[in-house]
Structure 1
Amino acid sequence: MSIEVIRAAALDGVSHGFLGRRGGVSTGIHAGLNVGTGSSDERDAIARNRALAATAVLPGAALVTVHQVHSPDVVTVDAPFPGDRPKADALVTRTPGLLLGILTADCAPVLFADREAGVVGAAHAGWKGAIGGVTDATIAAMEALGADRTRIAAAIGPCIARASYEVDAGFTDRFGAENPENERFFTDGRREGHFQFDLEGYVAARLAVAGIGRVETLGLDTYADEDRFFSFRRATHRGELDYGRQISLIGLI
């Protein structure tokens, strides 16, 4: 099966792609394009999948990823890291030939571009990073490189959808304490005292409030579409011992 590269109209003309599990060389519960070094998959398969993913989006570019920790921290990149990857959840660059990569398995991948300034960014927005301000920090880091938020286009890729994301009352209270208007991102759940959370909608709203010029949501549910995407929550519900990770990429020629 060939690698599926999902692209956003908002980022047209910029080398980018949201990749799922289709294609790749991994087998078993990691079957497909698993790129997660934190998984128990074979190291050689992960390395081959990463190379295949990079070639599918920007052939010849150097893939750069970080050690993701659900933080609001951003790294500005001008060359591949010489040693250990820094702990962070977003990357920005204005250097051609680098391909920024963010790994997800239900969290929201967000890709950014200011075409005029020649600045791009990628952020991993799980609920912790999202409420902690990882997208705001990414925008600020892009502006430090010469971007303008009114020119930045952002796209939110495949992530767990509201229909698949049940949370408890403590979770909703945390978001309500941050901003009472966050109530609109929750609907009643299937069980008493539980709610369905719209992660994609929340991240999109943060981007809009921040003044991003164009925001696109792809509306793709990682949990529900097993054929196309890996999902941490789906694997957990099934009692599986591990799960794959997919990658979202953006770079400059």
Structure 2
Amino acid sequence: MSKIFSSAAARTEISKALIGYLKLPFSGDSVPGTLLENVIGSVRGATVLNTYDFVDVISAADKVGWQIKSTKDTTPVTWKRAKIAGSARLIEESRKSVDALQDLGNRIIRFCNEHAEHSIQKYALDEIGFSRLVVHSDGRITYYERLLCTADDPRVFFEDDFTWHWSTPKKTKKGSKEQLPALHGTHVKTGKKWFAWHGLGENQLHFSGESEWWPKATDDHHVVFRFPETRLSQDELMQLLKDAS
């Protein structure tokens, strides 16, 4: 079995650490990605990188790395700021030709794959996994792990799996200004929008198709838990800190 997957005991340990955080009075209704990175690093005996590389945490001993994401279920994952070389010209051409439109989408997919391949080479990895925390609006929290790519085939996505089109500009809720169009990538097999590239703005690449990866109850490599029913009071937290000093 792939070494990117945590054991059931390790997944339970991860969930308990996150529940402990959520009991703190200032924890809010979500889990910061940096916290998840450090929890996984601690449980897996791995190193948190704190870089802009594709992988956030690596285990040099096992030659594996993880990209780590944590959001609410209503928030699409920001996969990457995808800065495509020559984007102004490519965007202009994409509005005139179907082939140029597909070419721009293919370049975005290649950009994602090259970013993953760079981490494989830089850190001498055999595999890259996806460690993901989804905070559901009904109080459930899902943590799951998924194999993304390997050194033998570093592709995370495949160009032929997507078609592309520019979205229709929308006005903001206040009606004060018009949002810039985004390039949408539709997954051919599911017919659903998986990507939105904001190349006319700050180049964010949103990956809403990640919800297609969410595990079913019968799937392995995940754990589901709930927000704690109660949190520590400020006084209880202060007492714990005093006792630890």
Taking structure 2 as the reference length, the TM-score comes to 0.33
Taking structure 1 as the reference length, the TM-score comes to 0.32
Considering Cα pairs closer than 8 Å and 6+ residues apart, tell me whether 1 or 2 has the greater RCO: 1
Q: Which has the larger radius of gyration?
A: 2
